[in-house]
Structure 1
Amino acid sequence: MREHRTGCAGMLLAAAGAITAVLAWAPKARVSVDGGFAGMHRDLSVLYVDLPLIAVGGALVPLTAWLLTLRALRRPWLAAVIAAGALALGVWGLLSWWTPYQQPEFMGQPRR
């Protein structure tokens, strides 16, 4: 019965990690989806390339921390705290590192 509870807790941490990562990523990706000013910067590849990678990474980071800590220390509450800390560090790293590509603004005719 104990393995069942720890397995469910790990899956809940993975789901919470995926949801948290996607919600933290979405405001930065908004420019690529709606296109910004006059739709000039629309790039929908963020939906089929970046979104799955962000969701999988958000699920795997806390789940990996949970499993490694649980196996080493055998304390579920400590494993949950370390997994939450790993998720927070992962989201911080995502927000500080990842920026969607934006094409430069076109201002008039180029000089000859």
Structure 2
Amino acid sequence: MREHRLGCAGVLLAAAGAAVAAVLTWAPRARVSVHGGFEGRQRDLSVLYVDLPLVAAGGAFVPLAVWLLTLRTLRRPWLAAAAATGALVLGIWGLLSWWTPNRPPEIVY
């Protein structure tokens, strides 16, 4: 029973770490939408209540799902951990290469 609790705590800790890594990678690009750019004209706070939960959930659940699938099919914990780490790295790379916050054009006077 004790090993089961330690295993669950490890899985939860890994999911929390993956979510934090995804959010910390996402935050610098979302800064423009939160601060608003020049004089706050381009402020878009929807990134906080739409994009932030999706990024955190994706960062937590994608590596966890890959780890569970790999562990269930191959029954090798070290291979499952490597696959989950690869899924996290590829997920963060995909997030950085695909997601760009909405920026309306600057108003020039």
User: Once the 2 structures are TM-superposed, how far is the Cα of residue 37 of structure 1 from its aligned partner?
Assistant: 1.2
**Quick one: distance in 2 between partners of 1:67 and 1:8?**
15
Q: Which residue of 1 aligns with 2:31?
A: 30
Q: Is the 8 A contact 1:10 1:66 kept in 2?
A: no
User: Once the 2 structures are TM-superposed, how far is the Cα of residue 8 of structure 1 from its aligned partner?
Assistant: 2.9
User: Once the 2 structures are TM-superposed, how far is the Cα of residue 10 of structure 1 from its aligned partner?
Assistant: 2.3
What is the RMSD of the two structures over their aligned residues, measured on CA atoms? 1.3
For structure 2, the 5+ residue unaligned runs are none
- In the superposition, the TM-score normalised over structure 1's length comes to 0.89
With over 3 angstroms needed to count, the CA separation of the structure-2 counterparts of 1:66 and 1:6, relative to structure 1, is: farther
**Quick one: distance in 1 between partners of 2:8 and 2:66?**
13
What is the correspondence of 1:5-44 to structure 2 with a 5 Å cutoff?
A: 5-44=6-45
Q: Which residue of 2 aligns with 1:67?
A: 68
Q: Percent identity?
A: 65
> Which one-letter code corresponds to 1:79 in the other structure?
A
For structure 1, the 5+ residue unaligned runs are none
User: Once the 2 structures are TM-superposed, how far is the Cα of residue 5 of structure 1 from its aligned partner?
Assistant: 4.0
Who wins on radius of gyration, i.e. which is larger?
1
**Quick one: distance in 1 between partners of 2:4 and 2:78?**
14
User: Once the 2 structures are TM-superposed, how far is the Cα of residue 9 of structure 1 from its aligned partner?
Assistant: 2.8
